[in-house]
Amino acid sequence: MGPEKNAKELFKGAFILTIAALIIKILSAVYRVPFQNIVGDVGFYIYQQVYPFYGVALALSTYGFPVVISKLYTEISSKRKNHEVQNLFLTASIVLWIIGFTGFAILYWGAGWLAALMDDPQLVILLKVISITFLIFPIVSLFRGYYQGKGNMVPTAISQVGEQVIRVMTIFLAAILLTRKGYSLYVVGGGAAFGSVTGGITAILILVTFYWLNKEKLHFSLEKFDRKESKRIAKVLFIQGFAVCVSSMLLVFMQMADSLNLYSMLTSSGVDANKAKELKGIYDRGQPLIQVGLVVATSMSLSLVPIITSEKLKSNYESMHEKIQLALKIAVFVGVAAAVGLWNIIRPTNIMLFENGQGSDVLGVLSLVILLSSIIMTVSAILQGLGIILFPAFVILSSLAVKYVLNMMLIPPLGTMGAAASTCLTLSFIMVILLLKLRGQLYLPLFNKRFLFMIGFAALTMFIVLRIYLTFTGYFHGRLFSGIQALSAVAVGGFTYLWIVLKGNTFKEKELYMLPFGSKLLFFLPKKNRR
């Protein structure tokens, strides 16, 4: 009963964290729409310029170090050696405070340099506000790692959701109150950026509350501090923490490259400063659309990764290969639907969410990011599940430099369309490298040719159907009618795509059963394929 109970607890913990992650992603995507409606495109530009730096701190405290600390804590506590547990948390505290203070110092004292690099000196105050989150993340990471190591995912999940709820509430309050009082958009942006601080403090309060309610306490003593063991722990934290963090920051790197040189490249190309800010703000409308699409695309494919890891540990390679192929099929299946569908309905969606259709052509190109990112995230997670940790991290890290250079080449002649193209080209480059690496590990084809043909045929049919539908429903104008058109088009396009793919013998019944809500799709399958 012991191993069975343990497996159930692990599944329960993973489920709790998955639900929390979905809530966070949805909140992170959705709040941007009303925020942009309140502050306009220029105000949105100001906030988005510094958001990637918060994204780094969020990855450190959510996806990276808590995971590694929990893994080390589980290994050490199983030996029942209290002094080694103390060693772990003392070492982790030192390592995290070094990283946190370094991040704080770069953003706080280097705010002027970074703002000048972005060609917008007024961003200094926002960068200084965001810098405080790097002093908060070590405390949050330690507590989350401690609880996750004990198998108690509830404090981590509640702190994550609480952090984002308070952060979003702060953003809205700052935007509404400060704009009403007539403050500049940079002050409003600073108030919105302060949400990262209030959110972080909320996370600490929640975690500390759980700690004090818990009877078991950690006691630290420097007398039994093992330097040799401490060096080993520090090495693991740096290497594995870096790998996990970086692998979760793909889109953050894309946004960071755009923050660093998109606006400056526009102004240096002769675009008026205010117009360039507005264009960057319009370009940033794509972020919530991409995030919503990725929530759907990745949540389904990544749900198979723990099963893949389990099959590898059991040396059940045939089943492992099947699960890998299924995870990739799901990533492509959902990613293509989201990307092609959004590209078709981007104009009415843009009007529905952001009041006008400006930049719809650029946002249409950015919709491809959903497909490319979903494949990259799935392949990266599979590689890590197979024990290949550093390779995907270094490849994803390289995306920042590739994107930055491509921006320099494409923005001057193409404007924000060049930035969208550079994002797609960068992600395509990363995707090909990771797929080749995975292909080399498996010595088996990753995709079935028939599957790719059916997906392509379904996507083309959906494209044609949506074009016809949008033409016949495009006689009315206004935000309300655009909303009705966009939402109804989602239903029409989604049904068309789903019907063709599933009727085309693309998935078996046993494959659908492994997916969230997969049983609801069984009626689409032809009877001969239900086995």
Using one digit for the tens of pLDDT, what is the confidence trace for 447-475? 888 889 999 999 999 999 999 999 988 77
Q: Which of 201, 234, 299 is nearest to 90 (CA)?
A: 234
* % residues pLDDT > 90 (the chain): 53
* % residues pLDDT > 70 (the chain): 87
Burial of residue 270, with CB atoms counted within 10 A of its CB: 0-12 exposed, 13-18 middle, 19 or more buried: exposed
Tokens linked to 329: 């099929």
Is the pLDDT higher at 22 or at 112?
112
Burial of residue 23, with CB atoms counted within 10 A of its CB: 0-12 exposed, 13-18 middle, 19 or more buried: middle
Is the pLDDT higher at 275 or at 21?
275
Is the pLDDT higher at 26 or at 138?
138
Instruction: Give the count of alpha carbons within 13 A of 69, CB side only.
Output: 32
When pLDDT is averaged across residues 9-14 and rounded to a whole number, the result is 58
CA pseudo-torsion sign 174, 176, 177, 183: positive
As a whole number, the mean pLDDT across the chain is 86
pLDDT at 78 over 70: no
pLDDT of residue 101: 95
3-state class (DSSP) for residue 476: coil
pLDDT at 109 over 80: yes
Q: Which of 483, 451, 452, 488 is nearest to 469 (CA)?
A: 488
Residue with tokens 């998955």: 18
The DSSP secondary structure of 343-371, one letter per residue, reads: HHHHHHHHHHHHSS-TTHHHHHHHTHHHH
Q: Which of 249, 242, 238, 237 is nearest to 396 (CA)?
A: 249
When pLDDT is averaged across residues 230-250 and rounded to a whole number, the result is 86
Q: Which residues contact 397 (CB under 8 A, 6 or more apart)?
A: 246, 253
Q: How far apart are CA 427 and CA 294, in angstroms?
A: 14
pLDDT at 232 over 50: yes
- DSSP structure class, residue 523: G
Is the pLDDT higher at 67 or at 223?
67
- DSSP structure class, residue 304: T
- Quick one: angle between helices 2-30 and 154-180, nearest 10? 10
When pLDDT is averaged across residues 154-167 and rounded to a whole number, the result is 91
pLDDT of residue 126: 95
Query: Which pLDDT band holds residue 234 (cuts at 50, 70, 90)?
Result: confident
Is the pLDDT higher at 54 or at 15?
54
Give residue-wise pLDDT tens across range 247-272. Answer: 888 999 999 999 999 999 999 999 99
Query: Which pLDDT band holds residue 207 (cuts at 50, 70, 90)?
Result: very high
